[in-house]
Chains A and B, each alone.
Chain A
């Protein structure tokens, strides 16, 4: 009898909770965060997860959410595993999410076809499928502020700037050390195109996930091939190992440049004193002196509402997470403005993304002056091909080491359009863009 009563009570509570969900959904905006705090990639994933969570939490604490509506933040652990990521998506899509952040190129590739069907936009901030920047073919996918192809082109631009001009690239050997996974392979097409155009030799050094911490032969091959510059498209445990191996092999650290995901503070620290000079691309600054960071410290860290340690606030990957959530929040805010609704849904936020225009004045309002560069998305260009700069490890932290640089747009954009066309042509049922373009875009 007692067991029966317990079961009945449990069933009643479950039913009540289920019926209460829609009411809650009206009072809040549900933002699921697909994060990874466990597994071999946790070293990178934890800091980003903290940054993403803390910025949204700060908005809840300081402003009562966005436009007066609280943000319901829920993390789902993917372990950087595509299957688990899709499970997270399926288990949360019934809760009226307004945007998905897959935080893995593999998961993003799986969610791309689902976004238009479920009418929830996917924000793959500076990762994922580069060709998805073509908003005409991928109206539900957004990858601002720049794609991997933009990043690779900025790397080439930086090499040219150091070497004395694009014509000086002729005869050079440039290597790509990359995770042997969709994420790692992304920059290959654009680097191949540029190798042809600027007449340098491109060497590829794939690192299988199982070999991330065992890169001896890769760096021996780099020594044999007399590579002049290395671009590191690595993630997780691969990055600190690459930095250590570069130090061990006496590779000049100022000629080793990581994609923006290879710029964790822990990645550089692993190389100890020898890592000084290591470079990484970036699209936001580091440090915790910006007003927005001070607000996070005050409203989140000091109230023990974060999993981050105080000293981690301001580190590169933490700030990356903050930047990511700023984009989410601004898209929601823009959606509220466009629709006049407070509790927006996925369709509204998609419109918000497409009309996103973060000006210098808006950055100042948000306490992010000097933290990031103004950026804009249009209906046609969902990445915005925004400016990127090079950061350099000074032995204790990353410092800005170049001006903001535009990607080589005349090479990258045609490739994006061609690749998008090819992607769509392979799927006979791929839906044509059925949503209108925002006037603000």
Chain B
């Protein structure tokens, strides 16, 4: 048994290095996409201290809206712009109807409100688009298809062009958002809001405006995530479960850190694939789902605030 746990997986890695590279690649792609989902959560948490439970359904809603517009005969790129418009209207509506009336309420109330928002979006989504899964308009968005087979390390490693595109687009998106919030005026305002609502208000920052902006940014992230996951599988209400994969990423990276979301996503993505592939068979497989939490909790034992989370010291 000890041999199977501590020796054999490493022997397998050495014996078939091409499969190790393939597993690492699969983990990397998943990790970048997890990071993207986690980023949606981080943005909103930083601005309002709310864990947005609705982020998953926003992914589904954005992807369905895009496909829905295209089904109505709207060209793909115009459908993208219209979908962004819908996500902007949604951000404004959330700020006006959900957040503004709940200012100064305890965080748990705001969290529960996002719970409610989830079910409202599920209902609206099913009412407008129906429950049937849809195919992502991969070709119309000029996303590449097919694969590149590379002979290496005595075997072959397959890189799906869509996965390469997903990794590149997600990386660019993460970089752009990080830069936007690091170097722009709005970004500085967001960080001020994240530090203290009252202090931000006292220097003239509009909370309402910041909230609308971050919810819209989270909507953009949701659309890109929806396009990428939808292209890898299909666009259905099942996608919102995938968004929960961001939870261990957030536990690991910290709820307030953009670099944390990125590094956390990569660690979880690669970690769960390696664990499932090499150690999964020892317990009958299917460990990918929970091993991510084990990895995250393992890190928490060393750094309770997450890898990049703020260390909060409160007087008691």
- Among A36, A212, A217: residue with most chain B CB under 10 A: A217
Interface status of B116 (Cβ within 8 A of chain A): no
Interface status of B314 (Cβ within 8 A of chain A): no
Q: Provided the pairs A38-B126, A220-B19 are in contact, do residues A213 and B242 lie with their beta carbons within 8 angstroms?
A: yes
Residues of B within 8 Å of A43, CB to CB, are: 131-133, 234, 236
A421 to B122, CA, bound (A): 44
Residues of B within 8 Å of A208, CB to CB, are: 286, 288-289
Chain B contact residue count (CB 8 A cutoff): 40
Interface positions of A (Cβ within 8 A of B): 36-43, 45-46, 180, 204-214, 216-218, 220-221, 223-224, 236-237, 240-241, 244, 248-250, 266, 269-270
Residues of B within 8 Å of A207, CB to CB, are: 286
**Given A41-B238, A211-B286, 9 extra CB contacts under 8 A:** A40-B238, A42-B236, A45-B131, A211-B288, A214-B245, A218-B285, A223-B22, A248-B160, A266-B133
A357 to B215, CA, bound (A): 61
Q: Provided the pairs A211-B288, A214-B242, A237-B133 are in contact, do residues A220 and B236 lie with their beta carbons within 8 angstroms?
A: no
Closest to B277 in A: A217
A270 to B133, CA, bound (A): 10
In-complex Cβ contact of B234 among A36, A38, A223, A270 (8 A):
A270
A216 to B276, CA, bound (A): 10
Whether the pair A213, B147 counts as a contact (CB closer than 8 A) is: no
A42 to B130, CA, bound (A): 9
Q: Provided the pairs A223-B19, A248-B160 are in contact, do residues A211 and B135 lie with their beta carbons within 8 angstroms?
A: no
Whether the pair B288, A248 counts as a contact (CB closer than 8 A) is: no
Closest Cβ of chain A: how far from B143's Cβ, in Å?
13
In-complex Cβ contact of B233 among A37, A41, A213, A223 (8 A):
A213
Bitwise interface map of B from 116 to 132 toward A, beta carbon under 8 Å scored 1, else 0: 00000010001000111
Q: Provided the pairs A204-B285, A210-B244, A269-B135 are in contact, do residues A224 and B277 lie with their beta carbons within 8 angstroms?
A: yes
A-B residue pairs, 3 tightest by C-beta? A40-B238, A42-B131, A206-B286
Closest Cβ of chain B: how far from A318's Cβ, in Å?
12
Closest Cβ of chain B: how far from A81's Cβ, in Å?
13
A210 to B236, CA, bound (A): 13
Interface positions of B (Cβ within 8 A of A): 16, 19, 22-23, 26, 29-30, 122, 126, 130-133, 135, 147, 158, 160, 229, 232-234, 236-239, 241-242, 244-245, 272-273, 276-277, 280-281, 284-286, 288-289
Whether the pair A240, B289 counts as a contact (CB closer than 8 A) is: no
Residues of A within 8 Å of B147, CB to CB, are: 248
Residues of A within 8 Å of B244, CB to CB, are: 210
In-complex Cβ contact of A217 among B158, B233, B234, B273 (8 A):
B273
A241 to B234, CA, bound (A): 7
Whether the pair A205, B234 counts as a contact (CB closer than 8 A) is: no
Residues of A within 8 Å of B229, CB to CB, are: 213
Residues of B within 8 Å of A237, CB to CB, are: 133, 233-234, 236, 238
Closest Cβ of chain B: how far from A314's Cβ, in Å?
17
Residues of B within 8 Å of A40, CB to CB, are: 236-238, 241
Closest Cβ of chain B: how far from A50's Cβ, in Å?
10
Residues of A within 8 Å of B26, CB to CB, are: 216-217, 220
Whether the pair B131, A37 counts as a contact (CB closer than 8 A) is: yes
In-complex Cβ contact of A240 among B19, B160, B233 (8 A):
B233
Residues of B within 8 Å of A224, CB to CB, are: 16, 19, 277
Q: Provided the pairs A42-B132, A46-B132 are in contact, do residues A220 and B237 lie with their beta carbons within 8 angstroms?
A: no
Q: Would you list 14 pairs from A and B whose C-beta atoms are within 8 A, ordered by A residue?
A: A37-B131, A38-B126, A40-B237, A204-B285, A208-B289, A213-B236, A214-B242, A214-B245, A216-B273, A218-B285, A220-B19, A224-B19, A237-B238, A244-B233
Whether the pair A42, B276 counts as a contact (CB closer than 8 A) is: no
A220 to B142, CA, bound (A): 27
Whether the pair B289, A211 counts as a contact (CB closer than 8 A) is: yes
